[in-house]
Chain A
Amino acid sequence: MWEAGETVAAQGVTVYRKRPGFLYFTNRRLAWVPEGGLAPTVSVKHDEIKVQYVSQEGATSTTLRVAEFKPDVKHTFQFTSSSAIQEREAIKDLISHIIHDRLLRASAGGASSANGTPGPSGGSGASPGASSVMSDASAPGTPKAPLQARMGGLGPAGLRRGVNGAGSVDVEMQTRRALLAQNRELSLLHTELVVGKHISENEFWETRKSLLRNKAAIDQQQKGQSSAWLDLKPQTGESNDVKYVMTPQVIHSVCQQYPSIKRAYDQFVPDKLSEAEFWKRYFQSRFFHRSRSGRGANEPDDEIFDKALEEDEEETKSAPKRIKLDHINRLVDLSTTEEDHLESYLTPDGTMNAGKTKESKEAMPLIRRFNRYAQRVLNSTIGPKRPFTGPESLDMSGVERAIVMEDLQEQKESSKIVLNIQDTRRYFESQGGDMKSSKIPDGVDPEDILKHFYRDYTSHEVVLNKPFVIPENTFDMLMRNVKSNRAKLLPPKDGSQLLPPHLYQEALSCHAAGNEILRHFWASTSMDKAAKHLRMIESLKKIRDENVKSLMIQASSLGTDCLDSMKMMLKPMLNSIQKALKHADSRPKPPVRKLA
């Protein structure tokens, strides 16, 4: 009743459509099996689950409703056993994990869709990073809905790690499915081999571990925090109302930008003010509107945010604390050479002093604000700067290392092995294969040859107007040569041009399947995999006798050209299969001898 590799994570006794039965949550799907039944009558794949609803605690019945992405397909399960609530909670949590994980994936691209917000009872705190909480009130928005992400703490990254830890098998399954969905060729091959029962699911993936690893690594890659300066823009809805959308991301950015807001938040939420109330007051406050034109001081007084505003302005007004100069690297510390410059007639350069002119004075708070923000973003990514540890910087070894010049050091002779080739002639001869220099017949003095050659040359005059005698086959030879070169230069026709597309596709997938099985065949030659080996032999025979044959028959019905090209395409694979089967035949059948 279960697919291979499927494991049950939670189950419960339920009534579905007035029939008693069992609800199972496996690593692939949610399945319901009627009492006494064998196969699940309801089967919802993880990816098909859109939303779940649960009944309120304390309600008369304990139910779980699951909606699929297909419109209007909903299943309601009523838990009936004595431990109904526990059973339901277990399944509910698992489902919310899945929905959650999917939303995280979706929101990774920035587009978070709101369709997966868990039901009324709020699926166990599942939504940070994913659901965009819409505030629908008029004028400055009122965020509602649970915002459980504490500021600066649980980002999407932390949460994701938690999900991945849940079950490695489950994760691998998901990775496999995602890979198949992304890669069409792989999925075709998978259909051909696994669904065609040539090899098992696990064997299929065993040879593709690197793909899985790669995919998992990509999935686990954490996305850094956006460093953009937050610009909260209201969405203008119908009837001129203004709506602010607060996602945890936005809240995080606000806190990042204004530490005074974060302090206020930490102080008041959720003890004294509700989350929503806090943000509502924020949007109404002078703090929020000070940088916006046209609103002036119309905002009502608000002690929380007025105080925050004060703090904020105080912070930006004051210059940052001067850096302590104790730990400056001695090599770049200009003050150490100050006494050398006493005699100079130059006045100190004041142009680079910030805040001296009127314009720069006005710009200072803004610049400081940006700088602080940049610093915070950096710190959140790389961690705060390590505090200086005093004694280390005074260590002379760093200075010494910097002032010692390598070129002035005595070079140590590196120990080399001298390449000592005995006979270079012999060395290069091998490049030319078997060769010898011109042979001089034995007993003949080279001098004589030269003399004779000279005599020969001078005695016969080269006459150009004498007719040439060209052997007839020379031209044939040249033409043959040209023709064969031409054939090589013309682009070869391949199956995609010679075969109709669907047949070509089939041939391709047959070829891929054959090669895959061959790979498994050769990988299973060791004796401890004898069973698999036998299975592969059967599969190879099946490919040869069924798949290839049927392709040949189809091709031959389309004419001899088609058949020829089909033969040409599949020939290398058939040869390989032939070799593999021959190898299998020549192998000693019982695993006795070769093991040693």
Chain B
Amino acid sequence: MKDISTSEDDSNLLVMVIDTNPFEWEHPSAPLKLNEALQHILAFMNAHLAGRHDNKLAVIASHVGVSKFLYPTPNEPIPGGKVPTKKDANAYQSFKVVNEAVLEGIERLLRDPKPTLEENDLGSSKIAASLSLGLCYINQILKLDALGHVKPRMLVLTVSPDSSSDYIPIMNCIFSAQKANIPIDVCKIWGEDAVFLQQAAHITEGIYMRPNDPRGLLQVLMFSFLPDMFARNYLYLPGQDQVDFRAACFCHKKIVDIGFVCSVCLSIFCSFSPVCSTCRTKFAFQPLLNPARRLGAKAGASNPGSPRPSTPTTPLQ
């Protein structure tokens, strides 16, 4: 019930970000081909458009090294002569327009410019760029909508793992979305949990899903992500509400409950070192006691009255 102002008559703007990272889709272990997934995704898009006559849709492809609008295509004339490709008397026109725009857009993306393969960021998807595009688009639509009837939301369909260089841009997008009250739904179609996006969904009060079987994608999409903002007030929706915010130490990538934090750059370490390996700050003191040992000594550490470790470097709780 967070947003009272939603109503049945709202038109819904859904901005979808589709991860088209070829290195993931084409990976030998991928359980689904892009073509197969697109069948599900297009069906879902059509369902969204069918939900209300004034529902709006935008589709953005998050490719390797580039991020592009698939629908609606801004300022790009439809390549000449191809206006109605296949006459299909049974197709609903607006579905058809969207479907073709998406399919062609992806085709162009795969064919045309070779994605610039950066040395240290090889094969990571441009999720942050896509989120920014989506937020800008939403902003534009909301500005045009004088009545305030458009209720935006975003849905990210991703297969790529988090890219560490994207951390700050993604976080910026998340906080912008949070401020603008735009929920970011996330579906990690397969693979490990996407930590950044998990946080995105959590912070913006969106839904995060990681289906156990990607072949049931359509059902997951329809079940979890189709209900609009108004309906969400009345539904119990799937999604995980527990996000792992625990920090991992920089030295061993181990999740730590109590560790040492560099007072300059806030790097986390599981053991004390006189020089911070991240920012080269030198610490001219010895910690009083190893927090881990202290913790172990007291089995009932959570009990009242047990002392807390106090070390020069701030213990991380």
Per-residue interface assignment for chain A, residues 436 to 453, with 1 indicating a CB less than 8 Å from any chain B CB and 0 otherwise: 111111000011011011
The interface on chain B, measured as residues whose beta carbon lies within 8 A of the other chain's beta carbons, has a size of 82
Q: How many whole Å from A435's CB to the nearest CB in chain B?
A: 5
Q: Are A452 and B165 in contact, with the CB atoms below 8 A?
A: no
**Interface flag for A433 (CB, 8 Å):** yes
Q: Are A428 and B216 in contact, with the CB atoms below 8 A?
A: no
Q: Are B28 and A441 in contact, with the CB atoms below 8 A?
A: yes
A450/B22 contact (C-beta < 8 A), A437-B123, A457-B110 known: yes
Interface residues of B in 248-297 (CB under 8 A from A): 248-250, 253, 255, 264-265, 267-268, 277-281
Chain B residues with CB under 8 A of A433: 195, 244, 248, 253, 255
Chain B residues with CB under 8 A of A447: 114
**Interface flag for B8 (CB, 8 Å):** no
Per-residue interface assignment for chain B, residues 103 to 132, with 1 indicating a CB less than 8 Å from any chain A CB and 0 otherwise: 100110011001101001111100000000
**Interface flag for B192 (CB, 8 Å):** yes
Q: Please tell me which stretch of A126-134, A347-355, A471-479 contacts chain B, meaning at least 4 of its Cβ atoms lie within 8 angstroms of it.
A: A471-479
Interface residues of B in 188-229 (CB under 8 A from A): 192, 195-196, 211-213, 215-216, 218-220, 223-224
Q: Are A438 and B300 in contact, with the CB atoms below 8 A?
A: no
9 cross-chain pairs, A with B, having the tightest CB-CB distances, nearest first: A522-B305, A474-B216, A438-B123, A579-B300, A428-B167, A481-B238, A438-B23, A453-B22, A429-B164
Residue of B nearest to A436 (CB): B161
Q: Please tell me which stretch of B37-45, B67-75, B174-182 contacts chain A, meaning at least 4 of its Cβ atoms lie within 8 angstroms of it.
A: B37-45
Given contacts A435-B161, A437-B121, 19 further A-B contacts (CB under 8 A): A422-B280, A423-B278, A425-B120, A428-B164, A429-B164, A431-B195, A432-B196, A433-B244, A446-B122, A457-B35, A462-B99, A463-B39, A470-B218, A473-B212, A474-B211, A477-B211, A481-B239, A518-B303, A583-B299
Q: Are B265 and A419 in contact, with the CB atoms below 8 A?
A: yes
Chain B residues with CB under 8 A of A423: 278
**Interface flag for A321 (CB, 8 Å):** no
Per-residue interface assignment for chain A, residues 415 to 431, with 1 indicating a CB less than 8 Å from any chain B CB and 0 otherwise: 00101111111111111
Q: How many whole Å from B163's CB to the nearest CB in chain A?
A: 6
Q: Are B23 and A446 in contact, with the CB atoms below 8 A?
A: yes
**A438 partner, pick from B21, B111, B305, beta carbons under 8 A:** B21
**Interface flag for B241 (CB, 8 Å):** yes
Residue of B nearest to A452 (CB): B26
Residue of A nearest to B39 (CB): A462
Residue of B nearest to A422 (CB): B278
**Interface flag for B160 (CB, 8 Å):** yes
**Interface flag for A38 (CB, 8 Å):** no
Chain B residues with CB under 8 A of A430: 247-250, 253, 267-268
**B305 partner, pick from A432, A468, A518, beta carbons under 8 A:** A518
A425/B247 contact (C-beta < 8 A), A437-B124, A460-B35, A462-B42 known: no
Complex Cα distance A105/B210, Å? 66
**A470 partner, pick from B168, B216, B268, beta carbons under 8 A:** B216
Q: Are B264 and A417 in contact, with the CB atoms below 8 A?
A: yes
Q: Are B165 and A425 in contact, with the CB atoms below 8 A?
A: yes
**Main secondary structure on chain B at its contact with chain A?**
loop
Q: Are B168 and A468 in contact, with the CB atoms below 8 A?
A: no
Chain B residues with CB under 8 A of A441: 27-28
Q: How many whole Å from B28's CB to the nearest CB in chain A?
A: 7
**A576 partner, pick from B103, B248, B303, beta carbons under 8 A:** B303
Per-residue interface assignment for chain B, residues 19 to 34, with 1 indicating a CB less than 8 Å from any chain A CB and 0 otherwise: 0011111111000011
**Interface flag for B237 (CB, 8 Å):** yes
Interface residues in chain B, defined as those with a beta carbon under 8 Å from any beta carbon in chain A: 21-28, 33-35, 38-40, 42-43, 46, 99, 103, 106-107, 110-111, 114-115, 117, 120-124, 160-165, 167-168, 192, 195-196, 211-213, 215-216, 218-220, 223-224, 236-241, 244, 247-250, 253, 255, 264-265, 267-268, 277-281, 298-300, 302-306
Q: Are A438 and B27 in contact, with the CB atoms below 8 A?
A: yes
**B299 partner, pick from A435, A453, A579, beta carbons under 8 A:** A579
Q: Are B255 and A470 in contact, with the CB atoms below 8 A?
A: no
Complex Cα distance A435/B188, Å? 15
**B110 partner, pick from A436, A454, A482, A519, beta carbons under 8 A:** A454
Q: Are A471 and B248 in contact, with the CB atoms below 8 A?
A: no
Q: How many whole Å from A485's CB to the nearest CB in chain B?
A: 6
**A579 partner, pick from B24, B161, B303, beta carbons under 8 A:** B303
Q: Are B238 and A424 in contact, with the CB atoms below 8 A?
A: no
A462/B267 contact (C-beta < 8 A), A428-B164, A432-B164, A453-B22 known: no
Chain A residues with CB under 8 A of B264: 417, 419
**A478 partner, pick from B34, B220, B240, beta carbons under 8 A:** B220
Q: Are B211 and A432 in contact, with the CB atoms below 8 A?
A: no
Q: Are A482 and B237 in contact, with the CB atoms below 8 A?
A: yes
Contact residue range for chain A?
35 or more
**B26 partner, pick from A426, A456, A518, A576, beta carbons under 8 A:** A456
Q: Are B122 and A440 in contact, with the CB atoms below 8 A?
A: yes
Q: Are B250 and A474 in contact, with the CB atoms below 8 A?
A: no
**Interface flag for A458 (CB, 8 Å):** yes
Q: Are B35 and A471 in contact, with the CB atoms below 8 A?
A: no
Chain A residues with CB under 8 A of B38: 462
Chain A residues with CB under 8 A of B240: 481
**Interface flag for A523 (CB, 8 Å):** yes
Chain B residues with CB under 8 A of A454: 107, 110-111
A449/B241 contact (C-beta < 8 A), A471-B216, A522-B303 known: no
Q: Are B238 and A485 in contact, with the CB atoms below 8 A?
A: yes
Q: How many whole Å from B55's CB to the nearest CB in chain A?
A: 18
Per-residue interface assignment for chain A, residues 204 to 236, with 1 indicating a CB less than 8 Å from any chain B CB and 0 otherwise: 000000000000000000000000000000000
Q: Are B305 and A519 in contact, with the CB atoms below 8 A?
A: yes
Interchain Cβ contacts under 8 Å between A and B, 24 examples: A426-B250, A429-B253, A430-B268, A432-B164, A433-B255, A434-B253, A435-B161, A437-B160, A438-B27, A438-B122, A438-B124, A441-B27, A446-B117, A457-B106, A462-B38, A468-B218, A471-B216, A474-B213, A475-B219, A482-B238, A485-B239, A576-B302, A579-B303, A580-B303
A488/B303 contact (C-beta < 8 A), A420-B279, A440-B23, A466-B39 known: no
Chain B residues with CB under 8 A of A489: 236
Chain A residues with CB under 8 A of B247: 430-431
Complex Cα distance A454/B26, Å? 10
Chain A residues with CB under 8 A of B123: 437-440, 446
A428/B168 contact (C-beta < 8 A), A433-B253, A488-B241 known: yes
Residue of A nearest to B110 (CB): A454
**Interface flag for A582 (CB, 8 Å):** yes
Q: How many whole Å from A419's CB to the nearest CB in chain B?
A: 6
**Interface flag for A464 (CB, 8 Å):** yes
Q: Are B278 and A473 in contact, with the CB atoms below 8 A?
A: no
Q: Are A478 and B238 in contact, with the CB atoms below 8 A?
A: yes
Chain B residues with CB under 8 A of A469: 215
A426/B299 contact (C-beta < 8 A), A433-B195, A462-B35 known: no
Residue of A nearest to B224 (CB): A478
**Interface flag for A244 (CB, 8 Å):** no
**B219 partner, pick from A450, A466, A474, A515, beta carbons under 8 A:** A474
